Every structure is written in structure tokens, then in C-alpha cells.
Structure 1
Amino acid sequence: MRSITVSFLLICILHTAVAQNLSTLTIQVMSNKEPLEYTSVGIQSTGKGGATDETGTLILQQIPYGSYKIIASRVGYGSRSVWVTLDAPEHFVTVDLIESTTSLDEVVVSGTMQEISKMESTVPVDVYSPKFFKANPAPSVFESMSNINGVRPQINCNVCNTGDIHINGLEGPYTMVLIDGMPIVSGLSSVYGLTGIPQSLIERVEIVKGPASTLYGSEAVGGLINLITKTPERAPMLSADAFVTSWGEVSSDIGLKFRATRKLQSIVGIHYFNYQNPIDKNGDNFTDLTLQNRLSVFNKWTMQRPGNRQFNLAGRYVYEDRWGGEMQWTTKNRGGQEVYGESIYTRRWEIFGTYQLPTSEKVDYQFSANGHQQDSYYGDLSFAAQQSILFQQLTWRKDWSTKHHLLLGLAYRYTYYNDNTTATATGSVTHLPGAFVQDEIQLNTQNKFLFGLRYDHNSLHGNILTPRFNYKWNSPNKKTILRWSIGNGYRVANVFTEDHAALTGARDVVFDGELNPERSWNSNINFVKNIITSSNAFIGIDASAFYTFFNNRIVPDYETNPNQIIYGNLDGTATSKGLSINLDLSWSHGLTALVGMTWMDVTLTENGQSRRQLLTERFSGVWSLGYTFGASLISLDYTGNLYGPMRLPLLGELDPRDEYSPWFSIQNIQVTKKYLNGLEIYGGIKNLLNFTPPANSIARAHDPFDEQVSFDTNGDVIATASNPYALTFDPSYVYAPNQGVRVFFGVRYTLSPI
């Protein structure tokens, strides 16, 4: 009996000792002093872990005393590890995560038309969150693109400042702009796809470099930009952002979320931009920045349906009045020959949505429609145009097995276009039915293939096939990824909807025969490496080598005749090749950096001779550096870009202007103060170096109607005493904005759901 009593006492003492060596650990995950819910947290080598609740907290119990490594990770924030020593019954630790500027493991849809982790996608997709664009606030996403590697917003006219987006050196008509995956933005309105949506309502921007014609059809030859807007479920209750600049620009965005019924939610966004302050700092008597008055209204609805089936409907209306020209121009001079001005009135509406059919299979019906009206004068040249597009698409996703993920689609696109030029006197209608198939094959956890094929029948140009192939390999820990792709693209051109230079009154437009569709082959090798150092620093490497070969390339010829733009299919070949690299760096003490560089060579070969493409740099670099000063919630952002020389369009052998642009850099700095109640105050300086092109960028700005220019019997300009360089008025010699250094100040406010 005595021995039993002693044994019992020993067991109690041992149990008490063990109990005293167990701890309850409370972990709270934060970012910028705000809790992060649904964050994955684990204790290495213990098997213990879970996800944080709405307060960013996770409680783990009965953990033996000792030292442990805690790892926290969340999509869009990367991951971070901290060491803790448990030597008490209760312990509390905070883990701070840093939001990645590129959201390295975001969900993407643009590459394969299916939601998939960026790291798992066989197609390389660049992803940028609103946080990235806030580092250099701009009145439109179009201007913000200047800080994305391999992407350059190109101003096409020194007078009206309209432009397009270049991807890897290929001009704007080769870039497709989507909103929520809908190809509703085309040539006549490509810029308007990147303006007018409040940036607080943008979930992310996805960029695919290289042909995407297999899934999206014509216009996606050089790549695509997909603006993904927030769903009402993810949008803040209220968001507002407004800033002003020392040049007199006023930009304001406001977003509002509301619930109409228990199952129906909506978001409304209003964007307004105004600039009415003519400035001529280079002394050429032309406005340095186009005056603008732009209003856009965006509305999106989502409905909860049985089985979580998708149904959303969105619409947008854009109105813009812009003009640039001689400083003394007024609306009374519109279309006249006394004072030169370029005045553009634009009205545009869009509606688009997705409806998932009530079937056991994953079948989506996607639709969009838009109308675009433009009433413009370029000097005394009138250009009035209308464009209407109807798009419908039916997709079926089917997992035949654990290895085969199939996507089938039927599409139809109707395009009506008419303008008041002789080229389209009666208007044109294009029917474009198509079908596509894609099979993503998962061989094992490390190897994946994707095969795709699209067939289109263009009512004007006949049958078109566009295949593609993609391969992806990843290391067992998925920290290293290698992708290889090859694909075919095609584009049907409409000059007057795509190239502003064709509209300027300074040159005559000449067509060298009928324009045939362009075809291209593209190959791309992509390497991704993610590293987390022992000091909790994150290093992301994303490098790509690309090569694009063109047949039937349509090239505007500015050089054969300085008074003409000659459009025709290149009697030869064209290539775009290069190498790009992105470095994404972040440290636990608050410093982040995104640095990108691109080397490329875009060459046109005709009659055995090669030449560089106009307005295309061989080197470009971008950077975005950010630092947060601890608990003060004050952050500093330094952004910029660097461009190498571009070949520029001269007006003849006597033109005294440089054939190549100089190296130039646009740099910006911003300071932001955040408050816990959702308020942000920010301000800074744009174009710190005050770089602007030379004052003679507009040829003969003093004689915009060529009243003092003499021509011979062949229509060629004759050098005279008043025109010794035999020039005509021409605003196409443009490679950078004319807007110099300026100060900006702004306020943001976000009200999140309680």
C-alpha cells in the first residue's frame, strides 16, 4: 500500500512538472499596424499551426517550453519567420508582414483565362496591386505604366498628348486592353481603357508580354493589359482620393459600396480630372500639356446565386473634352485656319458581365458591348468617327482527370466603324466568329504543359489559326520556376483608329496597296527565383528572354516623303528581341525595392537592309523604392525610369534636329502619412530633374498651317530664306512628356467594413 501511495505521489509530481513546461502561445499578424485575417501561421517542426481570425490572431496551446521558429505567410504579402523562446505559461508575439509591390503569388486569370496562382501559371503574368500605383499617384493608370518594366506609355503627338502603350518595343496597336477579362477596348479607344476607373476600385493589373491571340484574338500580338476591378464583397465601404499639382491639375476618385438586397451588392466609382491652365515653358507658343476635362462613372453589380455561381454586370461612361495648340486658341477657332488647335470631344459607354450557367459543369457566358464617338479637329482637318463593338463568349472548363484541365470556348465579335475620311466613306462591318481549345496537362508536381489552338474567321480576311505551347518546371519547394512558351499572333489593322499621326493635318495619308493581316511568332523563356534569407529579407528574381518574328508587318513610313505617312505591309521581316529582369526586394525593417531593366532590339529588314524601329529605345530601367518609418506610419517612396536613345522621325536631310533622343530619366518622390482611421495625406515632387524635350520638338511651330512653306511641282518642300531647312509643321517628333517639375499634394480616405 505504501509503494502504491509513493508511486501515485511521483506521478502527480511528474504531471505537475510537465504541465508547468507547457505554454499557450498567442500570435498576432499585422501589416502597417492593421491586423491580417486568414494568414497562415505555423510552428516549424511541431505540426502546430492554423489561420488567423478577423483580429489577425491565432492561439496555439500546449506547446512545450523551448525555442521555435514561427512562419507566417499570406498571398500578396510574401512570408516572414521569427524566433520565440517559450519559458512561461503564456506568451504573446507579433509578426509584421510587408505587402509585396508586385503580389508575387497573386491569383491571375489573364494567361490561361482561368483563376490560378501566379506561381502555378504556365504563362508568365506580371501582377501589380494598387499599392504599387500609389507610390507615384497619377490621374490614370496609363501614366502609371511608366514605372513598369518593359512597358512604356508613348505620347504620340506634341499637341493633343494622346498616346498608346508599348510592350517590349511593340507599338500600341499590338497591345490589347481588357477590363475584367473583356476585350472591349480597341484601337479608337485604347487609352480610355486605362483612364476613368478609380484606382481604389482596381483589385490588380495583370500584364502578359507576348502573343495572347490564342485566347483573346486579334490585337493581342504584343501582349495584353487586364484591369481587374474589385468585387463589391472585397471593396471598401467608401474610398476617396484627390490630389492637385502646382501646374493646376485636379484629379479626384471616389468609390462607394452598397447592398441593394440581401443577395445583390454594388460598387459605384466616379473619376474626375480637370486641367485648364495653359502653360508654355519651352516658348514655342504651344501648350506644353493638353487641357482636359474628363468625367467617368463606373458601376458594378454582383448577385449571390446557389452553388456560388457567378453573375456580375458592370458598366462605364466616359466623357472627355481635350485640346492643345497655340496659346491664343479658343473654342471659336475650332476648325479654323487662323489659330492652330487640336480639339477632341469623346463620348464612350461600355457594358460587360459574366453569367455562369446553372449546370453541373463550369460553363460561363461572357458578354460586352460598347459605343465610342469622337468629334475632333486637328487644325482645320475634321475627324468624326463612330465605333461599336459587340462581344460574346461561351467557355467550358472541364477537369478530365487530375492531369488534364480543359478549356473550350466559342466567341463572336461584331465591329462597326465609320468616319468621315475617304477611306471609310460608307462605314465597315466586321464579323469575327471563333473557337478555341486549351489543355493544361499536369504531368507531376514539377512539370506542366499547356497546348492551345484558336480558329477565327474574319469576314474581310478569311480563316486564321493561332496555336501556342507552354511548358513550366518548378523545383520541389516551388522557389525556382522555369517557363518556356511559343505562340502565334495576328492583327487586322485599321489605321485611323490606331495611329494618331494619321489624323494630324501636317501630313497626307497614303496607302501602299491593301493592308493584309499581320502574323507573328513569339518565343519566351522565363526564370523565377524566390529567396528568403536568414535575416528575413526577401529576394525575388524574374528574368525573361523574348523573340518575336513578324510577317506582313504594317509600318508607318515617315521618311520617304516628309509630307506623307505611307502605310503598307513591310516587304521583308521585322523582329523584336531582348532580355528583361525584375528584382523584388524587401527587408523586415521596412525597406522595399522593385528594380527592372530591359534590353531590346526592334529591327525592320527590307530589301536586304535593316533599320531600327522609330521611337523605340534599346534600354530602359525602372525602380520603385519604399521605406516605412516604424510606428510613425510615415512612408517615403522614390520612383523613376531611365530610357536610352530612340530613333526619331526627321523631315528630311536638312532637318537640324537630332536623329536620336538623348538618355533621359523621369524621377519622383513622395511622402505619405497614414492614420489608423483610414486617412492618408501625401505629397511630393514629380519629374525631380525637370527633364523636358527640346523646344524645337514641334517643327515650324510658328507656321502651323504651312503658309510660308514653298513646294516644287512634285510636292516636295523647297528650302527658302524663311525656311532654310525645308521643314513643314509636324508634331510627331516626340518621345517624352513636355511637362516639367511640379509639386503635388493629396488626401486619401478608406472606410472599411466593420
Structure 2
Amino acid sequence: MGPIRIVFSVVVSLVSFLTANAQHSLKAVVRDKRTGEFLSGVTISLKGEIQRSAITDGRGFVLLRNLPPGSDTIELSYVGYTNLEQMVIMPDSSLFTFLLEQDARTLNDVVVVASTRGNERIETATTKVEVLGRTEMNEESTLKPGNIASILGDISGIQIQQSSAVTGNANVRIQGLDGRYTQILRDGMPLYGGYSGGFGVLSIPPLDLKQVELIKGSSSTLYGGGAIGGLINLISTKPRLDPELSLLINQTTLKETNINAYFAQRGKKFGLTFFGGQTFQKEVDVDKDGFSDLPKTSSTLIHPTLFFYPSENTTVSLGWSGSFEKRTGGDMLAIADKSNASHPYYEANQLNRNTLIFLAESWLKNSYVLHVKGSFSNFSRDEHTNTYVFSGKQKNYYGELSLVKRTAHHNLVAGLNANGEDFAPSAATPVPVGNFSSNVAGAFFQDTWRLPTGTKIETGIRFDHHNQYGDFLLPRIAVFQQINDRWGARAGFGMGYITPNPLMPQVRDYSIYQLQPLVAGMKAERSYSGNAELNYKHEIGQEGFFFINQAFFITQVTDPIVAEENSSGEVNFYNKTKPLVTKGSDTYIQMHISNWEFYMGYTFTLAEREYLADHQFVWYTPKHRAAATALYEVNGKWRVGLEASYNGYQYRDDNSRTPDYFFMAAMVERKFGPKWSLVLNCENLFDERQSRYETLYTGLVTSPVFKTLWAPIDGRAVNICLRFQPFAE
């Protein structure tokens, strides 16, 4: 062989070798097949022996590197969408476009914020999250348009307890713990706490929300120590390219009128959402005892949010929410005429809440996502009664900077935040508790690690510094194991804390003049929570499924703080030396078959105050609570629904037992094309209310003493709602 032929053979062999071993890249954009919207966070993986994966950025773009030459199969997966497999041949320098279809068989519940700040299916998330999605929000908007208290009470492990028969004030209790152990968030930021907390759930209309996420049990790593019993995260709506408008008017037999409007639309650089709502409630005496069971109320809520899109990878929003409300309850004659000397008892509240919210999200290089959020809320309450006048304000602030790194196997979250509150009575109405303030600075880190064996391990840690009560270190670990296509299991442990606050909501409302300042040397409450769960999911046909979750939980709160009222009416706060323990089980079942949807939940709760020698049960906590709903749809025109709940006996504060009671509701909806719908709904069909078992007050009509509430007091109500959506298709 001559020299030239030898050189030529070597060159050919070298080129062949390099070509065979060359590594190539695939460029693609992923969109929603129906809406055309870019999908961020989609995982694209190379199937086969060589493992390669990448995640789409904020504009749906992905670059999958180091692919071998020749044909191979890639897979695209995203929560709420059907997996897509596609054959590709490398090298190929073109830009691929992949369209994903929404999966009708998924649970329709995507954890956007509350759990890992990443997209997780509910049945495979490391934390148990129950999500009331946009469908439920739309339904509740026509059943109870004024607030979300009703829909939260439909969940078996959540108890909405009215704390005042006069004002209608209420708080949210989870797994047998008092309302102060539940953290209520709006877009991941606490807005409804302390002095302003009790009226929070009463002023949030469902039409203004995309979904509500509920976590039962400690969730302190990302959101602070206050989430001991659990958290409720209210997720705001975002505009889409197509305009959206909903107008509804609602009237009830209990003299309540609601008028709500919602609009949203996104352009190339700007977007807007706007909610405006008005509620009128006349005073109603359901049990004819002379006192209002529903206070006279006038409420206005305005919530515009402006969105700005400076680039395809960045979204910025700035919103303002204004809530303005007047409530007057008490003696029916006093409400009509406050100068009535023989019937003087009344309480009138004027509530104003102004909140600014800033949110920014930016997709950076290498699958990093930067989040910046902040809020400032100013709440004022002017209270007038026949015996005293009070005026006070509470200011809340929250700020956070966090960074999320998403890879094929890890979801990493790290961040810093600061929050605080400041309560101040007016100079004209000083109160014993005086001024009260609290400030916390924190840092957190969390890693959700997805192993090829179907295992997810989530570890997190949080460090908080409180300006009065020092430092708190909160570790957390959770594990999820996918056993097979149908079975999964999870377990977790977490710690939390809550600092003393005399303004936190209690089981019953006290006058602001009864609350005494905190005594020196009080300790923060600390919690230790654990859970173990088992999931089962079975798909039925093309769109049906059956899902069940069986959970067991336990929470111990050390140095619990209790409020004690002495003989002179003063309310003081003390730490107890032995813990408060709540434990039990929670069963959650969801099923969708053809045109039927079912939900059933049962919660067994054993809540005990171990610091007492006897009668250790926690007052006004049902040991057994169950809830169920059934919905049937006919040809897209008719929808019929039933809802039922059972509340077992509770112990009163005199250690006597209440009777159990059964609650039921029914609704029917008629759709007139996609734009118009009419809903007829009946709440509390059997007219169950506490006044059927006992009088609601003792003493004289001039100075009544109201009993602690353990059941509804407003009785049966029928409402009819008309909704118009002009842009619906």
C-alpha cells in the first residue's frame, strides 16, 4: 500500500470514528396543545441506555445536550399532561416544537406553591396536599360567593368555628388544634394573622382565586414556624391571552345579596386581572330570641393586579387589595335604634384592609428560577358597643428572596425572608395589652431528590431569629415511595414554633379590654409533628380514576399557651408545663367515573391537654368528622350536586357533651350555552343549628353572655345565582 493510500485510509477511519462518537444537541420549544401557551418546567429525557435530561425554561425552551448520532426516543413529562414520546434523528439543527395535551385522568390538582415550590402530582408529592382547583372555585362562586369559609369547611380535617354570635367572626382549625396554629397565606405570604386574623376568611371571595392548597400538619421549612397545625395557601389567578370575564349576582333567603365581577387578559408586555365585589347582608334573627344570628353587613372588595412581562423569561405583578366592611350585630331592636334604653346591646365594627402585593419570577440560565415577593397590609378596626368604644390598627409586612434550581433529579430551594406585625390602639382608646409588635428574619433550604427507584426524599431546614424570643432551628424530612403503578407511601417529620401573641384568635372572642399584656418569662410554643400515609390510585377507562389516601398523624406542642379568664373578666396568658397532643387518622377518597364525581373524607382526632389532671380533651373538637360530595353532569347542560357532613359530639368548656349533628346541602345548575348559567342551591337542608339544642345566651337582654359556638347558628338557606361569561366558548 502506497503512502497516499495509507494516509487516506487513516483520515477516513478517523473521520468515521469522530462521526460515530460525536455528541449533538437538540433544541425544542414545548407548548400547550390547546392554548398554545409555553410550558415551563417540562422534563425532556433521552430514553435508553444513555441517560440525558433537561427542563424547559420560562419561555418553554429546552436544550438537550450530548446526544449520540442516529435515531433515539425522547420523552416529555409534565404534571397535568399526558407523557409524549418522540423519535428524533441526530444530528438535527432545527428547532423542534412539541405540543402536550392536558391529561383528563389526573387529579386536576397541581401543587404550585405550598409544598415544594415545584410541579408535583398530589399522589406522588412528598407532602400531602389537598387542592381545591379552579373548578371548585367557580362552583363555590355560585354557591357561597361572599367568602371561602364554606368550601374550607367541606374538608373533613378542617373545622370552621364561629367564635362570635354577634360579629360572625370565625377561625380555621386543623387536626384539633386552635385557629392560631393554622397559617393562612396569599400567594405564599402571610396576610391574615394576629388582630386581623379572625375576619380573614370572611372577606375572601372564591371568584378571585385560582385554587386553594391545604396542608394538614407541620409545614414550617418554607413558610415559618406558625404552620403547626397546617397551612392554607390562597393562589391568585393569572391572566391568559384570551380575555376572561365573569359577572354574577346572587340572592339568598337569609337576606344576603352578592354582586361580583372578575376580568383578566394578557397582552404581549402587559396583563391585568380585576375583581370587584359587593355584599349586602341584612340582620337576621333565625331562632327568634331577639338577637341577630347574622349581623347587618355591607362589604366592598376591590382587587386589581397589573402584570408586566419585560422578557419571555420574566413576569412581574403588582396588586392592591382593598376590603371595606361594616358589621353590626346584637339585639335586633338596638341594631335598628341604638338609643333604645330597654334593648341597648349591640356591637358595630368598621373594618378596613389595604394590601399591596409584589411578585416577580425570572427564569435564569441553567434552570435557575429567581423569586422575589413582598407584601404590606394595613388593617384597621373601629369597634362601637353600648358599653365601650375602641379603635386600633395592625400593620403586617413580608419580604422574600428565593432561588429554585430544577434538575432531572433535584428540586432545590433556598431563600431569605423577613416578616413582622405591629398593633397599635388609638391614643383615644388605650387598652391593657398596649402596643404589640413582632419581627422575624429567616433563612431556609430544601432539597427534593427524585431517585430512579421511584423514591423521593425531601430534606429541609429553616433558621429563624425572633426579635424577642431568640433563635429557632426547624429541620424537616419527608419520604415518598412509589411502590408500583397504583400504590405509594409517604412519611415525614417536622418541627415548628409559634411565639406568644395576645391578639391571636381564640375559640371564643374576648373584648379587647379583657386581654392583658403578656407576663415576663413566657416561652414560645414548639411543635414536633409526624405522619405516615398510604396512597392507592386506579384508572377507570379513558378519563376515570379512583384515588384513596390513608394518613396517620401526631403533633405534640410543648409549653402550650392558654388563655384563662378570671372572676373579674380579665384574660391572662400562661405557659403550661406539660404538652398538648393531637393524633389521629385522616381518610381521603376521590373518584371520577363518566359524568360522576365523588369525594369522601373522614377524620378521627384525639386531642388532649396533658397538662390537666382530668378532662384532658380539647374543648369544642369533634373526635369524629366526615364529609362527602357527589356531582353529576348531564350533557353539559345540567349539573346536580349533593354535599353532606357529620360532626361528632364535642366537649363544652364545662366538660358536658354536645350532641352530634348532620349537615346536608343540594344544588342544581342549568347552563344556557357556554355564557349563561343559573344555580339554585340549598344549604343546611335539615336546618341544623345550635339553637335547636340550647339557647345561645344567658343573662339579661341588656347584658347577655353568649355561649361558645359548636354548630351553625344561621340555619337553612336557599340561594339563586345568575352567572354571565361573555367570552366563554
Q: TM-score, normalised by structure 1?
A: 0.78
Alpha-carbon distance in structure 1 between the residues aligned to 2:699 and 2:150:
26
Q: Which residue of 1 aligns with 2:126?
A: 122
Given candidates 551, 576, 579, the residue that maps to 1:544 is: 551
Given candidates 111, 115, 126, the residue that maps to 1:111 is: 115
Q: Which residue of 1 aligns with 2:308?
A: 303
Alpha-carbon distance in structure 2 between the residues aligned to 1:236 and 1:199:
19
Question: Is it true that 1:642 corresponds to 2:640 in the alignment?
Answer: no
Alpha-carbon distance in structure 2 between the residues aligned to 1:635 and 1:245:
20
* Residue identity matched to 2:252: T
Greater alpha carbon shift after TM alignment, 738-747 vs 181-190: 181-190
Secondary structure in 2 aligned to 1:733?
A: coil
CA contact (8 A) 2:460 2:475 kept: yes
In the alignment of these two chains, the number of paired residues is: 633
Question: Is it true that 1:472 corresponds to 2:480 in the alignment?
Answer: yes
* Residue identity matched to 1:646: Q
Point out where structure 1 has 5 or more consecutive residues left out of the alignment.
1-34, 41-72, 80-95, 651-657, 706-728
Question: Is it true that 1:587 corresponds to 2:593 in the alignment?
Answer: yes
Given candidates 241, 244, 263, the residue that maps to 1:256 is: 263
Q: Please report how far the alpha carbon of residue 207 of structure 1 lies from its aligned counterpart in structure 2 after TM superposition.
A: 0.4
Question: Is it true that 1:456 corresponds to 2:464 in the alignment?
Answer: yes
CA contact (8 A) 1:487 1:523 kept: yes
Given candidates 482, 488, 502, the residue that maps to 1:495 is: 502
Q: Which residue of 2 aligns with 1:720?
A: none
Secondary structure in 1 aligned to 2:421?
A: strand
* Residue identity matched to 2:143: P
* Residue identity matched to 1:137: L
Q: Please report how far the alpha carbon of residue 198 of structure 1 lies from its aligned counterpart in structure 2 after TM superposition.
A: 4.3
Alpha-carbon distance in structure 2 between the residues aligned to 1:36 and 1:519:
48
CA contact (8 A) 1:508 1:563 kept: no
Deviations 1:501-553 (A, max 9, x none): 45338967686765421110000112221112469752110221110001011
Question: Is it true that 1:677 corresponds to 2:674 in the alignment?
Answer: yes
Q: Please report how far the alpha carbon of residue 208 of structure 1 lies from its aligned counterpart in structure 2 after TM superposition.
A: 0.8
CA contact (8 A) 2:219 2:231 kept: yes
CA contact (8 A) 1:496 1:503 kept: no
* Residue identity matched to 2:279: F
Alpha-carbon distance in structure 2 between the residues aligned to 1:240 and 1:103:
28
Q: Which residue of 2 aligns with 1:372?
A: 379
Alpha-carbon distance in structure 2 between the residues aligned to 1:264 and 1:535:
39
Secondary structure in 1 aligned to 2:332?
A: coil
Aligned-pair identity (%):
21
* Residue identity matched to 1:263: K
Greater alpha carbon shift after TM alignment, 486-495 vs 565-574: 565-574
Q: Please report how far the alpha carbon of residue 183 of structure 1 lies from its aligned counterpart in structure 2 after TM superposition.
A: 1.6
Q: Which residue of 1 aligns with 2:355?
A: 350
Alpha-carbon distance in structure 2 between the residues aligned to 1:578 and 1:442:
29
Secondary structure in 2 aligned to 1:283?
A: coil
CA contact (8 A) 1:450 1:469 kept: yes
**Structure 1 residues 509 and 616, CA gap change in structure 2 (3 angstroms):** farther
Given candidates 697, 700, 708, the residue that maps to 1:699 is: 697
CA contact (8 A) 2:296 2:328 kept: yes
Given candidates 440, 443, 461, the residue that maps to 2:448 is: 440
Alpha-carbon distance in structure 1 between the residues aligned to 2:241 and 2:186:
17
Alpha-carbon distance in structure 2 between the residues aligned to 1:300 and 1:392:
18
Alpha-carbon distance in structure 2 between the residues aligned to 1:681 and 1:745:
7
Q: Please report how far the alpha carbon of residue 475 of structure 1 lies from its aligned counterpart in structure 2 after TM superposition.
A: 3.1
* Residue identity matched to 1:736: A
Deviations 1:160-209 (A, max 9, x none): 11010011111111111111112222122235543445423321110011
Alpha-carbon distance in structure 2 between the residues aligned to 1:674 and 1:737:
31
Q: Please report how far the alpha carbon of residue 336 of structure 1 lies from its aligned counterpart in structure 2 after TM superposition.
A: 9.3
1:475-624 aligned at under 5 Å gives the runs 475-477=483-485, 479-499=486-506, 501=508, 503-504=510-511, 514-533=521-540, 537-557=544-564, 563=569, 565-588=571-594, 590-606=595-611, 608-609=613-614, 611-624=616-629
* Residue identity matched to 1:690: D
Given candidates 180, 186, 206, the residue that maps to 1:179 is: 186
CA contact (8 A) 1:214 1:467 kept: yes
Given candidates 389, 395, 418, the residue that maps to 1:388 is: 395
**Structure 1 residues 337 and 424, CA gap change in structure 2 (3 angstroms):** farther
* Residue identity matched to 1:677: P
**Structure 1 residues 562 and 414, CA gap change in structure 2 (3 angstroms):** closer
CA contact (8 A) 1:309 1:356 kept: yes
Q: Which residue of 1 aligns with 2:708?
A: 733
CA contact (8 A) 1:199 1:253 kept: no
**Structure 1 residues 388 and 115, CA gap change in structure 2 (3 angstroms):** farther
CA contact (8 A) 1:130 1:204 kept: yes
Alpha-carbon distance in structure 2 between the residues aligned to 1:374 and 1:307:
43
CA contact (8 A) 2:402 2:416 kept: yes
Q: TM-score, normalised by structure 2?
A: 0.80
CA contact (8 A) 1:270 1:298 kept: yes
Q: Which residue of 1 aligns with 2:436?
A: 428
CA contact (8 A) 2:143 2:719 kept: no
**Structure 1 residues 697 and 454, CA gap change in structure 2 (3 angstroms):** farther
Secondary structure in 2 aligned to 1:190?
A: helix
Deviations 1:606-639 (A, max 9, x none): 25445111111101111111112236x1111111
**Structure 1 residues 148 and 584, CA gap change in structure 2 (3 angstroms):** same
Deviations 1:569-622 (A, max 9, x none): 12211101011111112221x122111111111100125445111111101111
* Residue identity matched to 1:680: S
**Structure 1 residues 106 and 505, CA gap change in structure 2 (3 angstroms):** closer
**Structure 1 residues 268 and 334, CA gap change in structure 2 (3 angstroms):** farther
Alpha-carbon distance in structure 2 between the residues aligned to 1:298 and 1:115:
27
Alpha-carbon distance in structure 2 between the residues aligned to 1:220 and 1:676:
44
Secondary structure in 1 aligned to 2:333?
A: coil
**Structure 1 residues 413 and 336, CA gap change in structure 2 (3 angstroms):** farther
Secondary structure in 2 aligned to 1:612?
A: coil
Secondary structure in 1 aligned to 2:334?
A: coil
Q: Please report how far the alpha carbon of residue 740 of structure 1 lies from its aligned counterpart in structure 2 after TM superposition.
A: 1.5
1:53-452 aligned at under 5 Å gives the runs 103-133=107-137, 134=139, 137-138=143-144, 139-233=146-240, 237-258=244-265, 262-276=268-282, 278-330=283-335, 333=338, 339-356=344-361, 360=365, 361-399=368-406, 402-419=408-425, 420-425=429-434, 427-452=435-460
Q: Which residue of 2 aligns with 1:58?
A: none
